[in-house]
Amino acid sequence: MKRPMLTIVVPCYNEEDVLPESARQLTAVLQSLIEEQLIAPESKILFVDDGSQDRTWILINKLMDQNRYVTGIKLARNFGHQKALIAGLETAKEKSDCVISIDADLQDDVGAIRDFVLKYLEGYDIVYGVRNKRETDTAFKRLTAQGFYRLMKWMGVDLVYNHADFRLMSKRALEELSRYKEVNLFLRGVVAQLGFRTAVVYYDRKERFAGTSKYPLKKMLAFAFDGITSFSVVPIRMITLIGFLSFMISSLAGVYIMISKLTGHADSGWTSMMISIWFIGGLLLMSVGLIGEYIGKIYQETKRRPRYSIETDLYSGRAGKSVQATKLAERR
């Protein structure tokens, strides 16, 4: 049987501290799989530089000179983790039989990659890496992450619980994924909708090897909100429901006021009036903002702008001038 060519896609943003160790550990995994004759010798590690401001791209070029398994692409600017991941997946699918995505910080267990490949050889098109537990996370992050998964499930979005972006996808699954052309592509939701045969591999998440997290609270909240608004119209329906409930309460209050007026028990209530105005005003502003978020997504989608721009593609052999400039910067 022909051995599949595997490409491991690693999005990178300012990862110079961890990149050499990531390359070392992933190379060891590839060599082991090749020795077991589970994957083809041409298999690669594809680092995707998402517009890093440190020496990440220089290190990728150095690693490529020293390590035949390493290659890379450089995006024209910082597009964000999800778009960098999509860029890597769409680039890798041209030459690969299967692709594994993993973050550069080494928190995901590289030892699980072998289990991913075994599941692929059994005939599975998508293999999810799922965390056994979240002991390395802070209590706040653990609580908010679990709340996010429960909220998405309540809104009807099909997600794999405790799964991030550590997964294997076959060429067939990647071809199907490439048909999803929306700009606001929430990968965790889309992959779950593809169908095909899926399997799960459980692993223990580790501490970050070096550097700092590139997902602070602000980015995590934005990511969660993007996921919700990309896959569910429940928030819009909730506004309708709240509006209907507000109308009913207002109608009941109006009846009560009229009865009080007719019976001579009406008192002027400045406090209750101000509270009502502030409450309704805040509710209206929140509703308009939420509707605006959906309209903004429609606006972005109708423009049909590309999700990313690749400045240099070493994987496909389209190097361009930036590699020459990088070599020159190294000599200096």
CA dist 72 and 80 (Å) reads: 17
The 10s digit of each residue's pLDDT in 238-269 is 776 777 677 677 667 667 666 766 676 655 66
Nearest CA-CA partner of 127 in 99, 158, 150, 152: 99
pLDDT greater than 80 at residue 25: yes
Answer for the pair 53, 249: CB distance below 8 angstroms, yes or no.
Answer: no
Task: Identify the bridge partners of residue 201 per DSSP, sorted by sequence position.
Answer: 129
Residue 164: predicted pLDDT: 79
What 3-state class would DSSP assign to 306? coil
Q: Which two tokens stand for residue 217?
A: 């609270």
Nearest CA-CA partner of 99 in 172, 157, 32: 172
User: Please, what is the Cα angle at 3 between 23 and 27, to 5 degrees?
Assistant: 10
Answer for the pair 6, 30: CB distance below 8 angstroms, yes or no.
Answer: yes
If phi > 0 it is left, if psi is from -120 to 50 it is alpha, else beta; for residue 70 that is beta
Please provide residue 213's backbone torsions phi and psi, each rounded to the nearest 5 degrees. -65, 140
Answer for the pair 159, 188: CB distance below 8 angstroms, yes or no.
Answer: yes
Q: Looking at per-residue confidence, does 183 or 26 come out higher?
A: 26
Helix (H) or strand (E) holding 1: none
| Total residue count of the chain as it appears in this document | 332
Residue 327: predicted pLDDT: 42
The 10s digit of each residue's pLDDT in 266-309 is 556 655 665 566 667 667 767 777 777 777 777 666 767 778 88
Residue 209: predicted pLDDT: 54
Residue 320: predicted pLDDT: 46
Q: Tell me, what DSSP letter sits at residue 194?
A: S
Average pLDDT over every residue of 193-197: 85
Residue 138: predicted pLDDT: 63
Answer for the pair 59, 22: CB distance below 8 angstroms, yes or no.
Answer: no
**Percent residues over pLDDT 90 in the chain:** 33
Pairing of strands 126-131, 6-12: unpaired
Give the number of other CB atoms < 10 A from CB of residue 207: 9
In the predicted model, what is the mean pLDDT of the chain? 78
Q: Which amino acid is at 301?
A: E
Residue 322: predicted pLDDT: 43
Nearest CA-CA partner of 168 in 102, 228, 74, 76: 102
Please provide residue 71's backbone torsions phi and psi, each rounded to the nearest 5 degrees. -145, 180
Q: Which amino acid is at 195?
A: G
Give the number of other CB atoms < 10 A from CB of residue 306: 10
pLDDT greater than 60 at residue 310: yes
Answer for the pair 78, 51: CB distance below 8 angstroms, yes or no.
Answer: yes
The 10s digit of each residue's pLDDT in 160-193 is 777 778 999 999 999 998 888 877 777 877 888 8
Answer for the pair 7, 94: CB distance below 8 angstroms, yes or no.
Answer: no
Nearest CA-CA partner of 169 in 32, 2, 8: 8
What 3-state class would DSSP assign to 117? helix
What 3-state class would DSSP assign to 36? coil
SS3 per residue for 257-275: HHHHHHCCCCCCCHHHHHH
